[in-house]
Amino acid sequence: MSAAVRNKVWFYFDVVSPWSYVGFRVIQRYQKLWNLDVTYKPVNLGYIMKFSGNKPPISVVNKGAWMWHDRDRATKFFDIALNQPANFPINTMHLQTFLDVLSTTSPSTLEAAVEACFAAIWVHDSPCATREDLESIFAKANYLGLGKEKVAEVLDKSMQKDARSKLQEEAKKLVEEEGMFGMPSMVVERGSDGETGMWFGSDRFEQLAAWLRVPYKGPLADGRVPKL
């Protein structure tokens, strides 16, 4: 593929979603191979579900039980840590508003912050209910290279009602205008002709490769076949 041809991806996610974490990792693995220009878009899954009329898997007993078995398989298939949180579902509103504010104030640090937030939930099972919880998460991540004062400034903004209202308004717009109903969702613009499409979930990357007309090399992006 010519270096001039860039495929753009807007990756919509909530760190409460294990499949968002899987999608995040796979996008990272394929970013160079597929020449992807990725923009990470933190949203609130609860609002998306509310406005679309969707229901969480755990609201159906058998589906909820199956989800955790599927997660166990996903850890091997995608080679990613997905430890079951002690208390699930988790309210990740503060993490999502933090990431949203950071996306406009310090976008160069957003990917590292997203990774730290996913790890907090799915690797370390860290609490994220209070400002103090978030301060602890970002302290462990060396304050994202921004410094303690800058992180505190972003936290100040993210704890405001306006930050939550913004996510609510954006979720309503994504449901009504883009047809979203869950996370992760990817809006992709094909560099070769500018055509745009949307994909949902962490198991559509083979389809996405076919649409982008690029090689698909498995979940690890290197041709290896995972063993379950």
Query: What are the start-end ranges of the E strands in the chain?
Result: 7-13, 36-42, 185-189, 196-200
7 phi, psi to nearest 5 deg: -95, 125
Strand 7-13 to 36-42 pairing: parallel
Is there a catalytic annotation at residue 165? no
Residues near 78 by beta carbon (within 8 Å), at least 6 away in sequence: 22, 25, 26, 202, 219, 220, 226
Distance CA 6, CA 209 (A): 14
Catalytic residue among 2, 17, 108, 202: 17
Nearest residue to 47 via CA among 87, 101, 92: 92
Q: Known catalytic residues?
A: 17
